[in-house]
Amino acid sequence: MDQCGNSLLPKIPGIYQSYMEIKDKYPIGSDLECINNVRFIKSIEKKNEPLFCDADVAMVMLAKGHNVINMRNWLAFDDKEVLTFHAFYKKSGRGAYAGIDYIIKRLNIIYFLVDETIQVNEPLRSNSGFPQGCFIKKQKIPLPGCDQETGPYYRLPDLVVGNTVVFYGKELRITGVDPYTRDFLHTMGVPAKENELIPEDPYFEYRKKTALDFTSKNKVNVARNLPPNGFDNMILRFRGYWDDRNQIEGELHFYEVLYYLVDDTMELVEEIIDENRVTGIRRKIIVKRQRLPKGGPWILQPGHNVKQDILNVMSTNKDTCYYTMDSQLWDAQKVSYYHCTDLYIGQTLKIYSRSIFLVSCDEFTKSFYKNVYKLETHDPIEAPKTMREIEEEMLHQKRVEIILKNYDEVLRKRLIKHGGAGMIFGFLIKMITDDPINQGRNFMLKYYLDDTEFAIYEYRETNSGMRGGMFRSKRGFSENQDQADLFIFYQLAVGVKICIDEFKFIIVDIDDKTMQFMIDHSKEFSHSNLATVRSKTREMINNRFSSLDEFRTKYFQDRELVDRDEFRNVLSFDGELDSHSGAVLSLIHKRPDPYEPFTDDVLRSVVQSEMRKSCFIHFDGLKFNFRSRKSKSDQVGYIECSAAIKAMKSNRISLSEEITNILVNRFKDTKNGCTVNYEEMVEFMDYVKNPVEPPSRLARVSVNDYYIYINLQDTVSTVEGYRGYGIGTVVRQTQKGFSPSERVHRWPAVEDVVNSTEAEKLYFG
């Protein structure tokens, strides 16, 4: 038996019990793996192995604030926690003929605390002549003479500065450690020695003596013209093309020529059409940043920048050799490179057998040549069109024809793109019939802008004899609908008559959200153009009255506020002015109904009454919800306003949105960054601990929209101060309202559509 406990018997058939014991390769797999930031052990053997954290190492981690005593290494440490040792070893050299018996290889020994494995790397050294990088892969390295599978293995106490370790027959001399490892060992109680000097490599010393090291002399010091002050870090950009269509399968190539003023280097980037990109163009570097000669040579021969050449190698015997250097002076090849003065629009550049014709430049390039070289003309040259561009122009013309035929869809997609997504138009409609019962029925028309479908709902009224509710489900026009009765979204307005499934209706009113949307998009809804409506109203008043005071005295008796229905009835001028204009002015000059003043006792009574109705008793849970949410405030018991509203919604507090906002504003602390004192607010709401009497009357803490008043003074002053007329075509009107069959509306000019690519994107997606 050897010192590792292994048998010294020869491995011959019949002595060992299984074939697995005489294998000669022991591959090391990855037993530790991190999946979704959770560490796993894949093999059962590794999991059952008692690989606990070393006691000395555990004390070091405890000193750093991490208690890892009696923990496994793969739980205590991360894969990036390593200790680095510097070492070297001697390898047989280049040959005795140069007097070199060995070379020095500098190595870094990396010890992983997570699984006590070792990896040896060789730092890169330029022009060394040997492969470098990973010297020994990450694994457990056995002690000399021990088996790879059973061990024992090298551990942290075996790595000492000044000692020599043997890794697979290679003797590595440890010369030092990095600062982190030194501090780790010092905390561990094993201070490391001072770093030793690594001996110089004889091969590199020999190269320095014989002047064979050209690594620091291979750059030619080319004289260059320094750019003017202030332009050192700037880039000149030109755009050009290379016409290769005269060759077989050739095409037209477009390039971007970049000229760096800091070192007179150039870069050539090709613009390739790629439909998968958002911009439609993919850029590919054809010539990397370098100094480009005028006409070549494009490929320089090896040794073109070496000052001396070796003519002969003579040796008298195999142990010594002599070099003979060329005594002639080095004649550098004179090459003329491109300069910024050689670049201008109309110039042809010869770059790697490509004749690139410059056609344009950017604004900075124009200003550079104007300020430095006093060049004023930089008119771009039109580049030839490719077959793809010609095909796209023909396709564009066909698209424009389709757009003009389907312009309604283009307008709809434009509205959706500019804030109309999910928009539902609401209109109050009445049935046009001779039946007095059906004349009194009120319906709500909902038009969905996203899919141009609509639905009709009937208002439920007490003792009306009608059930109410759904009158027509959400869908489009039926197949039997008359083409003359079809309508589109921009034709819907107050006073318009529509026909749906042989039922005739008239729009008598519109909701405020729909009206405001039409006013904001008056280009598509010309009947809601505020300037046009005021112009028509002013014209009607001037035709009937001598002054606005006379009009106001006759109809409104010098009142400040007037009811909305009365206001619209007056502005109709007995049917001469369309009803939609009165609805537009009613929304613009509507006076918002103010809140009725209320005290804290009334507010508290209303809040607690609502909480009793919903049987909410979990006030402790509500307070815990407030406390669990993060707050930017340093004070305890405060939370942001938005977080407070979200917490109340998550607890299903049965308060309306307006009462919730009033309650939050009641306990808001603006000095503390717009935060809410939720402790006091919960006590205010808790009717179990702090009950108050229910309200004796209906407390109004919300807006009542039943009575809507119009600010008459604001309306008259606006109409009086308006002297111009609206821009655009005035909508055609009749006493019966708008006729959908006439399809009267204001469209943008056809030239704007033809020259606009936005319309193409809206229609074709």
Question: Is pLDDT at 762 greater than 60 in this prediction?
Answer: no
Give the pLDDT score at 130: 77
Share the mean pLDDT of the chain: 76
For residue 711 the two structure tokens come to 């600010």
Q: 77-81, 389-393, 567-571: which range is least confident on average?
A: 77-81
Please return the burial class of 344, using the count of CB atoms within 10 Å of its CB with bins 0-12, 13-18 and 19+.
middle
Mean pLDDT within 95-99: 53
pLDDT value for 176: 92
- Res. 5: pLDDT tops 80: no
- Give CA–CA dist 122/167, Å, rounded: 14
Alpha helices in 653-711 (DSSP H): 657-666, 678-685
Residue 384: pLDDT band (50, 70, 90) is: confident
Instruction: Say what the pLDDT of residue 175 is.
Output: 92
Helix 712-721, helix 548-556: angle, nearest 10? 160
pLDDT at 520 over 60: yes
Q: What percentage of residues in the chain have a pLDDT greater than 70? A: 70
**E strand residue ranges, 247-362:** 252-260, 265-273, 281-290, 310-314, 322-325, 348-351, 354-361
Nearest to 585 by CA among 573, 594, 596, 597: 573
Interval 220-226 mean pLDDT: 50
224 band by pLDDT with thresholds 50, 70 and 90: low
Question: Which residue carries 């559509």 as its tokens?
Answer: 753
**For residue 99, pLDDT beyond 60:** yes
Whole-number pLDDT of residue 173: 92
| pLDDT average, residue stretch 703-708 | 47
Write down the pLDDT at residue 120.
Answer: 93
Exposure class string for 305-341: b at 16+ Cβ within 10 A, else e: eeeeeeeeeeeeeeeeeeeeeeeeeeeeeebeebebe
Is pLDDT of 13 > 80? no
- Residue 712: per-residue pLDDT: 64
Q: Which residue has the higher pLDDT, 631 or 175?
A: 175
Residue appearing with tokens 């050449």:
309
239 pLDDT tier (thresholds 50, 70, 90): very high
pLDDT at 687: 87
- Which residues lie closer than 8 Å to 574 by C-beta, 6 or more apart? none
Task: Report whether pLDDT(443) > 80.
Answer: yes
pLDDT band, residue 455 (cuts 50/70/90): very high
- The candidate with the shortest Cα–Cα distance to 221, out of 299, 309, 338, 332, is 332
Q: Are 273 and 281 in contact (CB under 8 A)?
A: yes
Query: Which residue has better confidence, 682 or 725?
Result: 682
**Two structure tokens written together for 273:** 């059409």
The mean pLDDT of 520-530, rounded to a whole number, is 88
**Res. 88: pLDDT tops 70:** yes
Q: What pLDDT digit, counting tens, does each position of 327-376 carry?
A: 555 555 677 889 888 999 999 999 888 899 999 999 999 989 988 888 88
Q: Who has greater pLDDT, 189 or 451?
A: 451
What is the per-residue pLDDT for 246? 85
- Please report, for residues 171, 200, 203, 471, the alpha-carbon distance to residue 90 in angstroms, rounded to integers and kept in the order given: 8, 11, 12, 96
Q: Extract the tokens encoding 609.
A: 């009454």
| 576 compared with 721, residue with greater pLDDT | 576
SS (H, E, C) 124-135: CCCCCCCCCEEE
The span from the CA of 558 to the CA of 603, in Å, is: 37
Mean pLDDT across 140-158? 86
Task: For the beta carbon of residue 727, count every other beta carbon within 10 angstroms.
Answer: 12
Query: So what's the pLDDT on residue 216?
Result: 42
567 and 586 Cβ atoms separated by less than 8 Å: yes
Q: Is the pTM of this model over 0.85?
A: no
**Residue 76: pLDDT band with limits 50, 70, 90:** low
* pLDDT band at residue 447 under the 50/70/90 scheme: very high
Is residue 23 over pLDDT 70?
no
213 contacts 204 by C-beta, under 8 angstroms: yes
